Amino acid sequence: MSTATAQPLHLSPASGWQPPALDECAVDTLYDDVVAASRDRRRGYSQPTLRVVLGAGEVDPHFGPQATRTSLLPEPRAWLQRTAGAILECMTGVRPVTQIARSVSPLVYERVHARSVIAKRRGARPLHRSLVRRVHVCEPDDGVIEASVVVQHDGRVRAMALRIVGVDGRWMVTAMELG
């Protein structure tokens, strides 16, 4: 009878090499290639991962924001007077910006928030409350209002231009300029 002798086990360290990380453009290109290849095969395609791209062009018409007619919305002059005053107070740091988040678009919110941060850093508080003197309204389309608002802000009379759009049963400021 012969006896087998066990050979000693030789362990070697694993390689430390790893492939480089892909940048976002490369991942998008690979994803698009996979989608194109699956469509070329004329078979059903099952998406392996969820790709979420938030953009104005890709909003679902049934589940995205819905336009609202002017007749179904509150009176725009009074709404603009209150909202313009609130925006000015947010820009000076008197009022938290989150209070107007539902009434303004994301772009306008970012601009007002940036002005609020600057005002808070300066530490200057307005001597008098902002006062909305006049609101002039123009309706270029149903559910769209363009307004020029005359305000007294920090001791000066200034002009504010606002565009509001009826969205989901409420007004929303989509553009704002302060002169």
CATH code for the domain in which residue 79 is found:
3.10.450.50
Does residue 24 form part of some domain? no
Does residue 122 form part of some domain? yes
C-alpha separations of 64 from 55, 161, 173 in Å:
11, 27, 17
Does residue 93 form part of some domain? yes
CA distance linking residue 113 with residue 97, whole number of Å: 6
Does residue 123 form part of some domain? yes
Per-residue pLDDT band for 45 (boundaries 50, 70, 90) equals very low
Does residue 152 form part of some domain? yes
**Predicted local confidence at residue 57, as pLDDT:** 60
Per-residue pLDDT band for 101 (boundaries 50, 70, 90) equals very high
Average pLDDT, the chain: 81
CA distance linking residue 93 with residue 5, whole number of Å: 83
When mean pLDDT is compared over 33-42, 74-83, 86-95, the highest value belongs to: 74-83
Does residue 172 form part of some domain? yes
pLDDT digits (tens, 9 = 90+) for 138-172: 999 999 999 999 999 878 899 999 999 999 899 99
Give me the number of domains the chain comprises: 1
Which residue range forms the structural domain that includes residue 94? 70-178
Global pTM? 0.65
Does residue 161 form part of some domain? yes
User: What's the whole-number mean pLDDT along residues 133-140?
Assistant: 95
